[in-house]
A and B are shown apart, each in its own frame.
Chain A
Amino acid sequence: MTFTLKVWRQHSADEPGRFVSYQVKNVTPDMSFLEMLDALNEDLISRQEPPVAFEHDCREGICGSCGFLINGVAHGGQRGTTVCQLAMRFFKNGDALTLEPWRARAFPVIRDLIVNRSAFDRIIQAGGFISAPTGTAPAANAILVPKEDADTAFDAAACIGCGACVAACPNASAMLFTSAKITHLNSLPQGQPQRDQRTLSMVAEMRNELFGSCTNHGECEAVCPKRIPLEFIGKMNRDLMRAAWHWHREPLVIPSLVQLPSAEDSHEQFHEEVRIHEEDQAHVEAESPEPAATRR
């Protein structure tokens, strides 16, 4: 099979990107999409051109590293499938395919098809954990988990954090990812003690990372390689209402507040802030003996 690829090439976060077209020949139908890109890259390397950067690890659909848009659909369009698991027989010989990285303010492009998804890590850090003593292992069945709850938690835990939901969402919203992470822990008995604080913290963090707001289009569910259902978003909303209505001995803490972002300030101000931050960094580095932390 032969394909014409139009690939987004961007050398680094600060440089502008553009589309470049390539021909890939001798593709077999049982190659995965990433194997096809490997073939392209070998060809590029042999011609002394920089290979197309894309992220991958397991290549078996479980790590959540891979992902980009193929002809405008995240992960290519085969339901419940990551691009690493997508076989080239899904396309027709001679197809023209446009490859584009996830686009969201919260996911800046690192290079070519790779974006920085650490915003997801920070949502998890805000409350996606259980504080528990980690001494000896507890006796099996010391905590009984109802079957239904275990199944729900398991379905939610299937999320691999690939970011396709954000990429496909017309609002660049991270509701499906966050709802999967919240539902996973909030369904289990072990998750109950920190339930309200967890929900509020993770939901607030989603906004602090400048993701957009859900309007129930359902695009996320349609491209999710793990078929996380919209139903979990409803569960998360219920849990947030619960957190707000419940009486708490002390007020719940919102991790941080930022002013409302708006369409106008999104671009110029972003770069302005980066510049200021870089100056600050230089300052800190000059003053302190330790290397300055790159995270806020």
Chain B
Amino acid sequence: MASNTNSISVHSTANVARQRVAVSHGALAFWHTMIGKKVIMAVTGVVLVGFVVAHMLGNLKIFSGPDEINAYSRFLREVGSPELAYGQLLWIVRTVLLICVALHITAAVQLSRMSWAARPVKYDVKRNVETTFAARMMRWGGVLVVAFIIFHLLHLTLGAIGFRPGQFTHLAVYLNVTAAFKVWPVALFYIVAMGALCLHLDHGIWSMLQTLGWNTARNEKQLKIASRAIAVVVFLGFSSVPVSVWAGWLH
């Protein structure tokens, strides 16, 4: 048995070379730890959720008619004038969002790789007793959400795909949207992607509260309900537009 123990300790400890390193900058040390990356995911997650909710509320203006939604589109570009030039604030917001998305995804990919490497031999039988479908879908749902974001920017922001030549007009939001969702596969893809976003937020919003230390044994239930409520409202708010166009309530 003694010789056995010997070979074991070699096994458990030989896998990494170590060196003593002092990281002089607190922020770098923070990013180096797994928890630091996760906190970054949570903080960027807050910004992204804030954007998502605001975007969803903005979209609902389409139900007030073409003038309202088109005016809102112009407002987003003119707000802050004369101190800010046309579209300047919009570009600031876009830059912040891009940085957040980049940090969020970088951390997600790095942490996922660490987790996959942490269990090289899988269980023959494993039964989960607590986790949810939403929690298990975070990684692949996140990938679907990004695929959607890329499609969406090329589609309704740039008009580069999904339109016949000349059909897309910059700032003519109402016309663009109603034309876009008359194509049913596009409307369906938007709704499926919003379902993925809903799942991501269902776990994500609560997860962010837990990561940042707001979750306690006593308020856990309420926080989970609130997280799900926001996720469902976001889903219904976004999906209402393609559904309404498709059903012919907006034309």
Contact = CB atoms under 8 A, between A and B. Distances in A.
Interface of A: 8, 12-14, 19, 69, 71-73, 77, 98, 100, 103-106, 108, 110-111, 116, 118-119, 168, 170-173, 175, 200, 203-204, 206-208, 210-219, 221-223, 229-231, 233-238, 240-241, 243-245, 248, 251-258, 260-263, 265-267, 270, 273-274, 276-278, 281, 294-296
Nearest to A205: B33
A217 B34 contact: no
A172 B118 contact: yes
Given A216-B211, A219-B128, A258-B18, A12 B117 contact: no
A98 B15 contact: no
Contacts of A229: 216-217
12 contacts: A116-B12, A119-B12, A168-B129, A212-B115, A215-B111, A215-B207, A234-B215, A236-B35, A240-B33, A252-B26, A253-B20, A262-B113
A244 B120 contact: no
A210 B22 contact: no
A173 B111 CA distance: 11
Given A211-B118, A261-B113, A254 B22 contact: yes
Contact of B34 (A110, A170, A206): A206
Contact of B14 (A8, A203, A240, A274): A274
Contacts of B138: 215
B16 A258 contact: yes
Contact of B130 (A215, A218, A267): A218
Which has the most chain A C-beta neighbours within 10 Å: B4, B38, B39? B38
Contacts of B64: none
B15 A274 contact: yes
B34 A203 contact: yes
Nearest to A234: B213
A280 B22 CA distance: 27
A71 B11 contact: no
Contacts of B228: none
A296 B13 contact: yes
A268 to B, nearest CB: 10
Given A111-B4, A213-B115, A100 B123 contact: yes
Contacts of A119: 12
B150 interface: no
Contact of A237 (B12, B115, B211): B211
B30 A77 contact: no
Given A100-B124, A253-B22, 13 more contacts: A106-B12, A204-B33, A208-B16, A229-B217, A241-B39, A244-B27, A244-B30, A254-B21, A257-B32, A263-B117, A266-B120, A273-B14, A274-B14
Contacts of B10: 274, 277-278, 281, 294
A289 B111 CA distance: 43
A139 to B, nearest CB: 35
A100 B12 contact: no
B213 A237 contact: yes
Interface string B25-50: 11101101111111100000000000
B14 A12 contact: no
Contacts of A234: 210-216
Which has the most chain B C-beta neighbours within 10 Å: A200, A253, A278? A200
A19 B123 CA distance: 12
A172 B115 contact: yes
B118 A13 contact: no
Contacts of A296: 13-14, 18
A211 B12 CA distance: 12
A244 B36 contact: yes
**Lowest 6 CB-CB distances: which A-B pairs, in order?**
A212-B118, A277-B14, A212-B115, A234-B213, A72-B127, A171-B115
Given A216-B211, A235-B213, A294-B6, A200 B29 contact: yes
Contacts of A276: 14
B122 interface: yes
Contact of B120 (A170, A270, A274): A270
A222 B129 contact: yes
Nearest to A281: B10
A204 B128 contact: no
B119 A237 contact: no
Nearest to A73: B127
B93 interface: no
Contacts of B112: 213
Contacts of A111: 4
B116 interface: yes
A98 to B, nearest CB: 5
Contacts of A204: 32-33
B30 A213 contact: no
Nearest to B204: A216
B126 interface: yes
Contacts of B129: 73, 77, 168, 219, 222-223
Contacts of A212: 114-119
